[in-house]
Structure 1
Amino acid sequence: MGKKILIISSEHTGHGHKSITEALCEKIGNNRDIKIHVVDGFSLGGQTLLSIGKLYGPITRKAENLWKMVYNISSDYPNLINHFIEELIRKNFLKLLEEVKPDLILSVHPNFNGSVLNILEKQYIKIPFITLIADLVNISPLWADKRADFIISPTVEARDKCIEYGIPAENIKVLGFPVRARFFRNSTNKKVFYRKDAPLKCLIMSGGEGVGNMKKIAEILLDHFDCTVTIVAGRNVKLKEKLEHSLRRQYGDKVKIYGFTKNIHDLMLASDIAFTRGSPNVMFEAIASNTPMIITGALPGQEEDNPYFAEKSNLGVVCKNTNEIKQIISKLLENDGEELNHIINCQRKFINPHAAEDILQFIINVEEHSYEAAAPSFSYN
């Protein structure tokens, strides 16, 4: 009989948690010995919690200071957040356990670590529980619950932060950041080093929510360089309409504008440079596709140090102000794109293309070891 893994993810708080989940699920393939059941953790809390989750997009687009306050509160009072969510999800979570009967639980969202572990502990339910951190440097205490059997970290920086929070080092495994297979180049679309024999292909994006000064960036590029610009406005419909009205009229076919698209991998693979926010998921997808990044900003809180994480490893360049773009691009393109090609090389050396497989194999090994030791114990009363 196949083993069952319950993944607690999120559909509406950005796209990163969903992408991580998809990266893991696609590695299961036709393996009938492993069954994965994915649930949006926010849906377990009914309309109240689901509505809170759906506020992520509007808040991060329009009120970064409010988001910073929310992040700081959750970091300062993790037990309060855990208790609040525990109360909202308890009934539906226990019902889900009874239906799925998982052999292991994997959480890829910080809001469902302590809250779920609280429920399991109070109900005397013994199921192996693993946390997969979806952030890179600035780790909220919500990620670091000592009761988790293991915490999987994408970076050494995240691991060190967990240790600061009191997690034993032996309970943390640094296995990389899982990226969906379609973002990796193969023999047919292998990245070639940049040469000045064609217009520079620029991609401007800012995560699934579509934030940032995309219009200004596009104008600087198109006014000063031989280039084409592709913009992904994400779920921000008003931004897409605004960009189409202003940029297409002025620059014509040199500009292409998309809303939310599932083909972002094709756009990355076709680009020489990607302008993006410091979103962990977007950053690692750009690294996987071997597309040098110019990072133009980051959400306060969990993304704050991500731009400098990328710059430290020569994975991209940090641009603090749009006025710096002309100088940055000019420098990258000097000497037949010497610095741009250096970034391409560093990305190739940095990325672990097998991170999703490594994580999944680790989870399976934990599950098999736990299953052999003792079958999960359920008590719903």
Structure 2
Amino acid sequence: MKKIFFLFCVFYSTITFCQETFYLEGTLAKSKIYMKIEVYKDDKETSLTTTYFYQNSLKDIRLEATLKNETYTFFFKPDNVITEKFYLKKGNNNHFEGSWYNAEGKQFPVQLEPINFSNYKSNLDPYYEKEKLNLVKCKFLEFKKQKTTLYNNKEFIWYSEKHCDSDFFRLGTNFSEKNKARINPVLENIHIENTLAQLNCASTFEYSEGKGIEGNSTITFLNENLLGFETSMFWDCGGAHPDFGTNGYLIDLNSGKNYEIDDIIAFDKSVTTEKQSDFSGFSKYRSTYFAPNLLAIITSIEHFVKPKDGDDSCDYTNTEYWDFISWNYTEKGIEFTPYFPRVERSCEESFLVPFEKLKKYKNPKFPYGLN
């Protein structure tokens, strides 16, 4: 059995800080549930964060929590009204047991034990595997065919996921068997990751309905070698500030590789050498070469002018907004979207640069032409 709880302590000259994490599975009455408990301790206080979900729902429920006299108390309190509460005791081998109560005081027994993660396997990106309960959710995802569409006379099959609002596509019947075998697992993983984001989108203010992230995916480019598409999302997961964003993909139909913008465009040879091993080097390339060159190209098309003093118009002439752009590969060229501070996010819009203006900057390692 893999280790199923983690204890991490840091010792300073005056204080000690410890973090202990429990990953648990078991029953609430007859329902199967999964829970994560994180305990933070220092010399002055103990604090907890807790999340759980039902196997038949998979949607996170984020609980407020306290630990007193060896009793773990978890409760959900939307609109300052407690709708459910757990009282649990930790026993031998990190087994937890106790009771759950609803708002009317109805009581059900709770039995939890450490998760054996060897029962839960996935091909998730390491970023998503950091949240270990994602491995559990992957086992219970169910995708169902919804519709078929055409793009450049090629068929795309769209699927939804049973537990939440999460739609995405796969290659259809008139793609080659080789393309489908190579690419559909890549597309399925993207769909899984989008679904996990939706299922994990929760707050202590209200129960999740699996709709906290509104989004859509649009196919924007297709030839015999490359598939380009864009995902756009608006999310409100209970934080102080809802947010939005887009993400562009360019996938090689022959290899399954997903190209980043620096794989496609290189404004300096430094980005064509071995991948930057640290963020500072990558950031230097973006600020020194990428942003000013890209801005010059787009300005030659859009004729940006710096706003006058007192004019609160969007300042597209500021190179800092072009360091870490969003991008989308389309039939006519590449669309670039600058990144503005949160208070100016309404300034974000896409600007199309035709392939002709980018050809001389093509990364020599990119195996295809820009067209």
TM-score > 0.5, shorter chain as reference: no
TM-score (norm. length: structure 2): 0.26
More strand by share: 2
TM-score (norm. length: structure 1): 0.25
Report which structure shows greater RCO (CA 8 Å, sep ≥6): 1
More helix by share: 1
